[in-house]
Structure 1
Amino acid sequence: MANQKHLIGLLLGAEEDWPTALEALIAGLGPITGPGGTRHEITSERVTIEPFNLRDPVRQDLVVDRLAYWYYHPREWLKKAALMDDLYLLNSPFTFQSMEKHSAYVALMRMGMRVPETVLVPYKNPVDNVRWAYTAAKYNQSFDLDAIAEGLGYPLFMKPFDGGGWRGVSSVKDREALHAAYDESGEMLMHLQESVADFEVFARALTIGPETMVMKFQPDQPMHNRYAVAHDFLDAETGKEAITISQTVNAFFRWEFNSCEMLVKDGIVYPIDYANACPDVAVTSLHYYFPWAMKALLRWSAYCVVTERKPRFQVDSDPWFAIADDKELDYKSKLAAYQSLADDYFETDRYLEFVDTSLGHVDELVLDWIDSDAFRRMLTSTIQQTYPPHEWDKFEGHFGGLMDMWIKDERIVQGKASAPVEVAAESVSASSLPADGVREE
């Protein structure tokens, strides 16, 4: 029987590093055996933007989208392809509006997550719309911004309800800073959100399909230092909660490639940002964790096309809110129930079996490529596109050293090198499914 062929499309903006990596790994994947002994061949291409007839069929079986959140033309092509051609999408364009943070805050609050208190305030400057001017004059109630801020407590954060990439985020320490930030917000619609003072850990979880990597994040550092290489900064219970929160928001909104930010204090996890249409996967950001992201994206994409996983674009809140509203369940019981729903959505058991039986060679494939001259050329190119020439040597050493550390650790995990017991234990944690940063107890 001839191999079944599957095409993965990459809908891209300015990124070159991770697409180059994923394309190389797909090219090296080779034929894989699916359920029932079927044979499959996967290739990739970059999607171009051009006029399209709404009845035109599409070539791709799955598209990884990094563009349509910001641009209408590719977004409408994705919608057409999903509705007309059953194209599998990472992520669904039908819930993009929920990726403006506001809906995600509300949903997780309803589900009992410890989202900090948040208030939406009207525009500082009315939007440029003649109808809005009339409506605002007639119906907008005056409000006391100072009273709202005092109710939340200083310091607090002001941030756009549809923010991304830290755009428009202000740390507000007093009344003067509050009014300055509000004046600068202009036509942006803003949240005021209480802060979690003296938090112990800032964690960022990247979730691709049913795989989650929880990383220690240092937002005050330059981008190249924000992801700290740390394998045991959360205890097992807190790490499990971080994974469940991340996978819950993804399964609820039908997102399959998303990141979630959380603060941890006194064993309590506070989700603060968990809606990112294009989560950061740049090699100069993730560095040590970049190979894991490429593995997870490769594995999940292969699983979806080979098993012909049916895309589900519409949110079904009923089963989630049934758990949320069950007064007989405490917080831990609700988390367990949410995780079960997430596992059902992502077909986690079936996925892990597929990875074990059909993609067992991916770990070695990724290790060999990260240890290749091709990867080093890609890394050098990315450094030279990102940093000024006088910093090239510094960052070659910085990122090269981090990737060499990953290669060393991965060789230990794969049994290709030996190490002291304590090092080997950390390395196993770093590569395990589904999370890093979790300390077993």
Structure 2
Amino acid sequence: MADVEHTIGLLLGTEDDWPRAFESLLRRLGTVTAADGRTHRTRPVRVTIEPFNLRDKPQHELVIDRLAYWYYHPREWLKKIALMDGVYLLNSPFTFQSMEKHAAYCAMMRLGLKVPETVLVPFKNPLDNSRWAYTAARYNEPFDLEATAASIGYPLYMKPYDGGAWVGVSKIRNVDELHAAYDASGERLMHLQASVEDYDVFARSLTIGPETMVMRFRPDQPMHTRYEVDHHFLSADAGDEVVTISRLVNAFFRWEFNSCESLVRGDDVHPIDYANACPDVALTSLHYYFPWAMTALLRWTVFCVVTGRRMRLDTDLAGYFAVADDPDRSYQEKLAGYRELADRYFEVDRYREFCDEHLSDVDEIVYDWVTSEEFRSLLRETVRATYPVHEHEKFLAHFGGLIDAWIRDQGR
């Protein structure tokens, strides 16, 4: 039988470290023999931005998008290739508005998750729209910001409804800080959200397809030390709940490359941010966990193109709401129901079987790559591109040590 070649498009912004890693690993993987006996080879292509005819046929079978959450031209191209050409996208462009946090909060509250109390407040300053003054004068109700905050309770957070990378987030401890943060918000639409005080741990989970890595996160630290290498920081029950919530969010919105932040107090898991169109996978952020991320991305994308997995544009929310509205189910039973729906969406059993039969050498391929001079060269170039010259030696030692720890932990 003839070989089959699949093309994976990389729609990128400023990042270059993980794309180079992914491209290298695809080359090292070579061909995969599927159940039908045919051999499949997958090649990565970086997508360029240019005019496109709506009837043009794309060369890609799958696209990893890291750009369209803010760059509208490629977003419209993604919508076109999903609607007209059946191209598989790891994150649906049709639920991007939910990446603005608000709809994601609403959806998970609707499903009964322990999202902190949240209020959306109007803009502080007028929008640049000629109709704003008329509409505001006629329909905007005066409101008491202090009373609204008091109804939530101090301390609380003011955070942009469409935020990212912690930009514009303020912890509010009193009335003075409340007014100062609101005055500074300008034309940004803001949430007020209750603070989860005295939490035990901040967990950040990265999910790629049906695989999830839960990491201990320290948001007050510099980026290169925020992810702490700790394999036993959650109880089994709390860890399982974080994984379930992460996969539930992704299956619900048809996102397959996303991160989730949760505050864990005892065995109570409070998701606070779980809509990230461009989750952090930088080598200098993930360090120890970077090989896992590349392994998961390689396995999931190859599985999708080789098995011909079709993208689901419909969100099929009724099944999730049926679980949420069942009065006879406890919270834990509802989580189990959501996990079942999410696992069904991601075809977990089929995926595991495929990986066992056709991608069993991927772990070895990644290990050989991480221990190669090619990887060390990538690490050196990434550090030099990220940090000033006088810090190169320090960060090469820092990240090199963390990667060496990962290598030792593989037990080879």
Q: TM-score, normalised by structure 2?
A: 0.99
Counterpart of 1:386 in structure 2 is 386
Equivalent residues in 2 for 1:339-378, closer than 5 Å: 339-378=339-378
2:73 maps to a residue whose letter is H
SS at match of 1:163: coil
Counterpart of 1:172 in structure 2 is 172
Distance (Å, rounded) in 1 between the aligned partners of 2:245 and 2:376:
35
Q: Is this contact kept in 1: 2:6–2:42, CA < 8 A?
A: yes
SS at match of 1:15: coil
Alignment deviations for residues 290-344 of structure 1 (CA, whole Å, 9 cap, x no partner)? 0000000000000000000010123221000011111111100000000000000
In structure 1, stretches of 5+ residues that fail to align are: 417-441
Alignment deviations for residues 16-75 of structure 1 (CA, whole Å, 9 cap, x no partner)? 100000000001111101123222111111011111111010001101000001011111
Counterpart of 2:311 in structure 1 is 311
Equivalent residues in 2 for 1:13-162, closer than 5 Å: 13-162=13-162
Counterpart of 2:182 in structure 1 is 182
SS at match of 1:240: helix
Equivalent residues in 2 for 1:210-359, closer than 5 Å: 210-359=210-359
Tell me how far 1:266 sits from its aligned partner.
Answer: 2.0
Distance (Å, rounded) in 2 between the aligned partners of 1:166 and 1:89:
26
Find runs of 4+ consecutive structure 1 residues off by over 2 angstroms: 35-38
Counterpart of 1:420 in structure 2 is none
2:103 maps to a residue whose letter is S
In structure 2, stretches of 5+ residues that fail to align are: none
Distance (Å, rounded) in 2 between the aligned partners of 1:97 and 1:313:
15
Q: Is this contact kept in 2: 1:94–1:314, CA < 8 A?
A: no
Tell me how far 1:102 sits from its aligned partner.
Answer: 0.4
- Aligned-residue Cα RMSD (Å) equals 0.7
Alignment deviations for residues 87-116 of structure 1 (CA, whole Å, 9 cap, x no partner)? 101211111001000001000001010000
Tell me how far 1:78 sits from its aligned partner.
Answer: 0.8
Equivalent residues in 2 for 1:390-409, closer than 5 Å: 390-409=390-409
Alignment deviations for residues 150-205 of structure 1 (CA, whole Å, 9 cap, x no partner)? 11111110001111111111111111110000000000000000000111000000
Tell me how far 1:284 sits from its aligned partner.
Answer: 0.3
Q: Is this contact kept in 1: 2:261–2:272, CA < 8 A?
A: yes
Tell me how far 1:405 sits from its aligned partner.
Answer: 0.6
Q: Is this contact kept in 2: 1:299–1:359, CA < 8 A?
A: yes
SS at match of 1:35: coil
Distance (Å, rounded) in 2 between the aligned partners of 1:172 and 1:391:
35
Q: Which moved more, 1:263-272 or 1:29-38?
A: 29-38
Distance (Å, rounded) in 1 between the aligned partners of 2:264 and 2:138:
44
Alignment deviations for residues 91-150 of structure 1 (CA, whole Å, 9 cap, x no partner)? 111110010000010000010100000000000012111222211110111111101111
Distance (Å, rounded) in 1 between the aligned partners of 2:394 and 2:349:
44
Q: Is this contact kept in 1: 2:199–2:265, CA < 8 A?
A: yes
1:309 maps to a residue whose letter is R
Distance (Å, rounded) in 2 between the aligned partners of 1:84 and 1:35:
28
SS at match of 1:91: coil
Distance (Å, rounded) in 1 between the aligned partners of 2:408 and 2:205:
24
Distance (Å, rounded) in 2 between the aligned partners of 1:393 and 1:174:
43
Distance (Å, rounded) in 2 between the aligned partners of 1:41 and 1:273:
37
Tell me how far 1:10 sits from its aligned partner.
Answer: 0.3
SS at match of 2:215: strand
SS at match of 2:36: helix
Distance (Å, rounded) in 1 between the aligned partners of 2:259 and 2:164:
12
Q: Is this contact kept in 1: 2:258–2:275, CA < 8 A?
A: yes
Q: Is this contact kept in 1: 2:208–2:297, CA < 8 A?
A: yes
Q: Is this contact kept in 1: 2:2–2:38, CA < 8 A?
A: no
Distance (Å, rounded) in 1 between the aligned partners of 2:269 and 2:37:
44
SS at match of 2:124: coil
Alignment deviations for residues 360-394 of structure 1 (CA, whole Å, 9 cap, x no partner)? 01000000111111111111111111111110000
Q: Is this contact kept in 2: 1:35–1:307, CA < 8 A?
A: no
2:219 maps to a residue whose letter is P
Q: TM-score, normalised by structure 1?
A: 0.93
